[in-house]
Amino acid sequence: MRDKAQRHKNPLSKDLLTTKTDTRDFSSKIAEYSGNRQNTPQMILVVGHVGAGKSLFIRRYRKLQVPPALRGSVKWAFLNFNDATKADLAEGGNWTSKKFVESFSAEQPEIDLNTEDMEDHIFGYELNANRSLYARLERVSLLDAIRQKVSDIARWKADYRVMSRGITRYFGGQRGETCIVVFDNVDRLDKDDQLTVFQLALAFMADHRTLTILQMRDETFERYKDSKPLDTFKTGISFHILPPRFGSVVRRRLEISIEEMRRTAPSGWDYELSNGARVHISRDQALAFLQNVYDYVFREGVNASRVLQGLAGRDVRRALDIFFRVLISGHLSDDSIMSVALGGRAFPITDDLVLRTLMCGNNRYFHSGNGFVANIFFFEREWRGGDNLLIIEILFFLGIKMKTRGTIGIEGFFTVDNIFETLQFLGYPLLAVRQATEWLLQRGLVEADNMSSLQLARDASIRISSAGFIHVRVLSTRLEYVAACLYEIPYLLEETANEINEVFVVSQGISGLSPVRRAQAVQNFRKYVRHLERRREKYAPNLVGVASGLEYILPHLELAIAEVIRPFGQLQVGPDPLDL
């Protein structure tokens, strides 16, 4: 994994580079801070997409890569904002101070903060301020003086702000060590909360005089780096974490799994197949199967890798989840696994099988929400004025404008009103466009500038996500995907609904939906899309021939059908508009 670190567009900065074995530039910044005897507070931003490896980078550095010269003099605390509520953020300093005290104890278990000697050190400033009071009490009653001191220390310990300041003052000041506070998982918050945490981090850093490391999404940093409150960070250091390639992550995890299985797995397993036969598979055969799965999915010319990486985007955690779902899928039968593991030539994993796994999860049939794939031909009856092409029109609009600077000055981001300005000419009302856009947001097919994934703010801007692009550009050309989408969507034409329903009902009684039956269903759907096209031409005759999602999707349906039913003439496939 290569993690690029740089101060963005700041003439006072220099590029900083780290690799998985070399973190000298990162360490030099910590050493530079540690060598500053004035204990000047400083902040480092670690910027990157969700799942890019920001937390992993810092945790690995803390455990394995702190130089020996610094290891004994650095004290750590991690404030996990996965645990923070809106009320916690509003509370501000109390919550951060409490989490700091708890984490400091957990990260340095060898330090007992509750011994009498340690309490005297931590609250040395407060005890010294009350020294004259204790002296007067001692002259009256030594016991009363001790009681007062004990009462004061108990009160200070209950006040996490006083306690946290005392810890950093003692270890970072009197002992001359370095207190590093990591504001962790901040990137998972929405945009407004990330900016709130940035202000909390600045306040904590100034109050406690620490080296503070704050995680932030790259979109938030790029959009607000010249605006308040991030403009106060112009002289700071930001490390930009670039996620490793999807295939590299999976390969390394697979290698680790294989090494672990070689050490701990039994020598073999006995299975009973669906036909009643019992077979024995050795550990080496099982390991060979895992390697074969990887080799197939990521070999050159296979679409599976492109689809998997597109659905995962830059989220490495999601990428791993997707890949291992394929391994444990119920759509990969025990018989097929045994055949391959025992030397059979026919490999059971195909592009269609991978796609079916991603679509259906552990269910037999596809339904949006079961797997990692959404149905882009779907629409809700509540979307007044919507139809089966509304989702596609939104994705197509955002897809062709990925490199266009949008409303907020960032490429690809547009408001719902911007989208409506185009879609209104296709006959879609504003409310339906907003409802469909929120549906896309909740399924990860678009991303909002405020980082929310549940509700679309009225003034929010959105862009197509990598998953959305893969849906409209790649999956819409695949027969397996298009055919599976057709039986869960509503239709505006009863005749089409009956025709497609008949195809699926007839196929349920046999072994399943054959490729020819799938193609026939998609042919019926193509006819229905032509009907929607004629319907659109009636109320928007001036838009005939204008680039739209409808015109874009028709050739994709032809490609899906052509997987099984070859056209009479040559299928004309030109450059894809989204590739340009």
**Residue type present at position 70:** L
Q: Does pLDDT of 15 surpass 50? A: no
Based on its alpha-carbon atoms, the radius of gyration of the chain, rounded to whole angstroms, reads 30
- Per residue in 79-117, pLDDT (tens digit) is 998 888 888 888 778 899 999 999 999 999 999 999 999
Do 421 and 506 lie in a common domain?
A: yes
Q: Please give the distance of CA 6 from its chain centroid, rounded to a whole number.
A: 22
Do 558 and 436 lie in a common domain?
A: yes
- Per residue in 562-573, pLDDT (tens digit) is 888 876 555 666
Do 266 and 251 lie in a common domain?
A: yes
Query: Pick from 188, 213, 240: which residue ends a domain?
Result: 240
In the chain, the number of structural domains is 3
Return the H-helix or E-strand segment holding 254.
helix 246-264
Q: Is residue 145 part of a domain?
A: no
Query: Pick from 240, 274, 292: which residue ends a domain?
Result: 240
Query: Pick from 225, 240, 255: which residue ends a domain?
Result: 240
Do 275 and 323 lie in a common domain?
A: yes
Farthest CA pair distance, the chain: 109
267 torsion bin: left (phi>0), alpha (psi -120 to 50), beta (else) = alpha
Q: What is the mean pLDDT of residues 316-336?
A: 69
Q: Is residue 257 part of a domain?
A: yes
Write down the pLDDT at residue 346. Answer: 47
Q: Is residue 493 part of a domain?
A: yes
The 446-448 sheet, strands edge to edge: 414-415, 461-464, 446-448
Q: Predicted confidence band at 6 (pLDDT cuts at 50, 70, 90)?
A: very low
Closest by CA to 45, choosing from 198, 237, 190, 196, is 237
Size (the chain), residues: 580
Q: Is residue 331 part of a domain?
A: yes
Do 543 and 451 lie in a common domain?
A: yes
Q: What is the DSSP string of 28-59?
A: HHHHHHHT-TT---EEEEEE--TTSSHHHHHH
Q: What is the mean pLDDT of residues 430-450?
A: 90
Q: Is residue 154 part of a domain?
A: no
Count of CA atoms in the C-beta half-sphere (13 A) of 12: 6
Do 417 and 286 lie in a common domain?
A: no
Q: Is residue 170 part of a domain?
A: no
Do 200 and 278 lie in a common domain?
A: no
Q: What is the mean pLDDT of residues 447-462?
A: 76
Per DSSP, 411 falls in state B
**Higher-scoring residue by pLDDT: 189, 97:** 97
Closest by CA to 580, choosing from 552, 546, 550, 555, is 552
Do 414 and 553 lie in a common domain?
A: yes
- State how far the Cα of 14 lies from the Cα of 76, in Å rounded to an integer: 26
Do 231 and 310 lie in a common domain?
A: no
Asked whether 388 and 489 are in contact (CB, 8 A), the reply is yes
Residue 550 burial (CB count, 10 A): 21
Write down the pLDDT at residue 78. Answer: 95
Write down the pLDDT at residue 2. Answer: 37
- Per residue in 423-436, pLDDT (tens digit) is 988 889 999 999 99
The 42-47 sheet, strands edge to edge: 15-18, 3-6, 237-240, 42-47, 211-216, 178-184, 74-80
Q: Does pLDDT of 348 surpass 80? A: no
Q: Does pLDDT of 316 surpass 70? A: no
- Per residue in 35-79, pLDDT (tens digit) is 765 667 888 888 877 767 788 888 888 888 888 888 888 999 999
Q: What is the mean pLDDT of residues 373-382?
A: 92
Q: What is the DSSP string of 130-165?
A: THHHHHHHHHH-HHHHHHHHHHHHHHHHHSHHHHHH
- Per residue in 259-314, pLDDT (tens digit) is 888 888 888 877 776 667 777 777 787 777 777 777 766 666 666 777 777 777 76
Residues of the chain with pLDDT > 90, as a percent, come to 28
Q: Is residue 265 part of a domain?
A: yes
Q: Does pLDDT of 335 surpass 80? A: no
CB contact set of 567 (below 8 Å; sequence gap of 6+):
558, 561
Closest by CA to 192, choosing from 216, 168, 226, 165, is 216
Q: Does pLDDT of 14 surpass 60? A: no
Q: What is the mean pLDDT of residues 11-32?
A: 62
Torsion over CA: 198, 22, 219, 409 (sign): positive
Task: Spell out the SS3 assignment of 287-337.
Answer: HHHHHHHHHHHCCCCCHHHHHHHHHHCCCHHHHHHHHHHHHCCCCCCHHHH
Do 556 and 481 lie in a common domain?
A: yes
Do 347 and 411 lie in a common domain?
A: no
Asked which of 131-135, 251-255, 260-264, 402-406 is least confident by mean pLDDT, the reply is 251-255
Do 350 and 458 lie in a common domain?
A: no
Asked whether 521 and 500 are in contact (CB, 8 A), the reply is yes
CATH number at residue 26: 3.40.50
383 torsion bin: left (phi>0), alpha (psi -120 to 50), beta (else) = beta
Q: Does pLDDT of 13 surpass 50? A: no
282: containing domain: 246-360
- Per residue in 493-519, pLDDT (tens digit) is 999 989 888 887 766 654 567 888 889
Asked whether 213 and 58 are in contact (CB, 8 A), the reply is yes
- Per residue in 130-181, pLDDT (tens digit) is 999 989 888 888 888 889 999 999 999 999 999 999 999 999 888 888 899 9
Determine the 3-state secondary structure of 80 from DSSP.
strand
Q: What is the mean pLDDT of residues 409-424?
A: 88
CB contact set of 229 (below 8 Å; sequence gap of 6+):
195, 198, 199, 202
- The answer to whether the peptide bond before residue 229 is cis (omega within 30 degrees of 0) is yes
Q: What is the mean pLDDT of residues 405-421?
A: 85
Q: What is the mean pLDDT of residues 430-449?
A: 91
Percentages helix, strand, coil for the chain, rounded to the nearest 5?
55, 10, 35
Q: Predicted confidence band at 458 (pLDDT cuts at 50, 70, 90)?
A: confident
Task: Pick the most confident of 229-233, 256-260, 440-444.
Answer: 440-444
Q: Is residue 73 part of a domain?
A: yes
